[in-house]
């Protein structure tokens, strides 16, 4: 029965005007409303997928995996948004188009930081080569990051050369960003605390490039030295750069430092890049789902596995494997 029904449905779909194809054509022509609409569809996909999502995703496929993805993270107030602004100006001068995803650390309701970021990104407001989307950090399902990662698809399909993703480096969310970004820039600034914040939150480990922003401040060199020695202790070869986002000083050198990493990443076929993104999303969603079920006491299999672990019958790895695989 189903074997007969399938071709019929397929034929019907084929003859219907394809909304996704039409939307993608408008996005590729640079129509901002179309890009915004696709970004919203992608953002909602994890929670309330619209009936048009499948058609949109199909139509976007051929264009995915081409943009350079640059993740910019760091403690609150380090100057990430200002740095994004400075990068936008630099990239536009180079003739590159830029999509920005700003992950709003506040609640979607108050929206304070969204406005703040919009105001600071004024350089982008009148420029068709720039598109900025703020994404709430706390969606209905908890993690923002899946939403932000999905919005990447819309900006990528729209054809932006570079996608900058700003996240506050405090939670799990930037780990997802780290997995999908081609280059991870971790921004620090003097005067944010006694210690370098990034070292506490584990951001040093994910950095491809470390930046000390607010280079115009007298204490910037001390922070730079501190960060360099922290990197040296880990015998990391991560470049440590100083810049002043407020004036644009050091932005050119920062962009040039991203080039080798971005180029290496782009050697990977677009097809593989977009699949990797999808796999990251599924793995994160599954991990969150499992953690939620464990907290709610819904995972009965845990109890015998815990006994086996405590009594030395199973290793932790083996217990985890059995939990995942249900054996």
Residue 168 binds which of ligand GTP, Mg ion, none (CB < 5-8 A, kind-dependent):
ligand GTP
User: Residue 86: which of 209, 259, 251 has the closest Cα?
Assistant: 251
Q: Which stretch binds Mg ion (CB under 5 A): 58-66, 81-89, 136-144, 250-258?
A: 81-89
Tokens standing for residue 185: 């820039």
Q: Which stretch binds ligand GTP (CB under 6 A): 48-56, 80-88, 136-144, 313-321?
A: 80-88
* Binding of ligand GTP by 111 (CB under 6 A): no
Question: Residue from 81, 134, 145, 197 that binds ligand GTP (CB under 6 A)?
Answer: 81
User: Residue 146: which of 136, 132, 158 has the closest Cα?
Assistant: 136
Task: Give the Cα separation of 71 and 111 in Å (integer).
Answer: 22
Concatenated DSSP letters of 21-56: HHHHHHHHTT-HHHHHHHHHHHHHTTTS--TTHHHH
* Binding of ligand GTP by 190 (CB under 6 A): no
Question: Residue from 90, 217, 276, 322 that binds ligand GTP (CB under 6 A)?
Answer: 217
Contact 208, 97 (CB under 8 A): no
Question: Residue from 97, 134, 145, 244 that binds ligand GTP (CB under 6 A)?
Answer: 244
* Binding of Mg ion by 85 (CB under 5 A): no
Distances (CA, A) of 149 to 48, 61, 165, 249: 16, 15, 9, 30
* Binding of ligand GTP by 246 (CB under 6 A): yes
* Binding of ligand GTP by 188 (CB under 6 A): no
Residues lying near ligand GTP in the complex (CB under 6 A) = 76-82, 113, 120, 168, 213-214, 216-217, 244-246
């Amino acid at each position: 029965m189903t074997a007969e029904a399938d071709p019929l449905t397929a034929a019907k779909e084929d003859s219907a005007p394809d909304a996704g194809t039409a939307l993608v054509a408008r996005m590729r022509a640079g129509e901002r409303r179309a890009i915004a609409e696709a970004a919203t569809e992608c953002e909602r996909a994890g929670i309330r997928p619209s009936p048009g999502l499948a058609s949109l995703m199909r139509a976007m496929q051929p264009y995915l995996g081409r943009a350079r993805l640059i993740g910019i993270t760091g403690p609150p107030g380090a100057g990430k948004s200002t740095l994004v602004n400075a990068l936008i100006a630099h990239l536009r001068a180079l003739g590159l188009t830029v999509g920005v995803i700003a992950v709003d650390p506040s609640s979607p309701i108050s929206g304070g930081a969204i406005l703040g970021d919009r105001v600071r990104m004024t350089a982008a407001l009148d420029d068709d080569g720039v598109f900025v989307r703020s994404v709430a950090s706390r969606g209905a399902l908890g993690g923002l990051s899946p939403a932000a990662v999905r919005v990447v698809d819309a900006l990528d399909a729209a054809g932006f050369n570079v996608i900058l993703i700003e996240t506050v480096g405090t939670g799990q969310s930037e780990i997802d960003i780290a997995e999908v970004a081609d280059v991870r820039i971790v921004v620090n600034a003097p005067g944010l605390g006694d210690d370098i914040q990034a070292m506490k939150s584990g951001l040093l480990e994910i950095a491809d490039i470390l930046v000390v922003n607010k280079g115009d401040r007298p204490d910037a060199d001390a922070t730079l030295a501190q960060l360099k020695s922290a990197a040296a202790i880990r015998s990391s070869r991560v470049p440590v750069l100083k810049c002043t986002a407020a004036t644009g000083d050091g932005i050119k050198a920062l962009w040039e430092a991203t080039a080798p990493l971005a180029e290496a990443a782009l050697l990977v076929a677009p097809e593989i890049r977009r699949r990797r993104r999808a796999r990251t999303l599924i793995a994160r969603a599954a991990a969150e789902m499992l953690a939620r079920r464990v907290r709610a006491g819904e995972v009965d299999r845990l109890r015998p596995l815990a006994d086996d672990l405590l009594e030395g019958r199973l290793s932790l790895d083996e217990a985890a494997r059995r939990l995942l695989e249900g054996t």
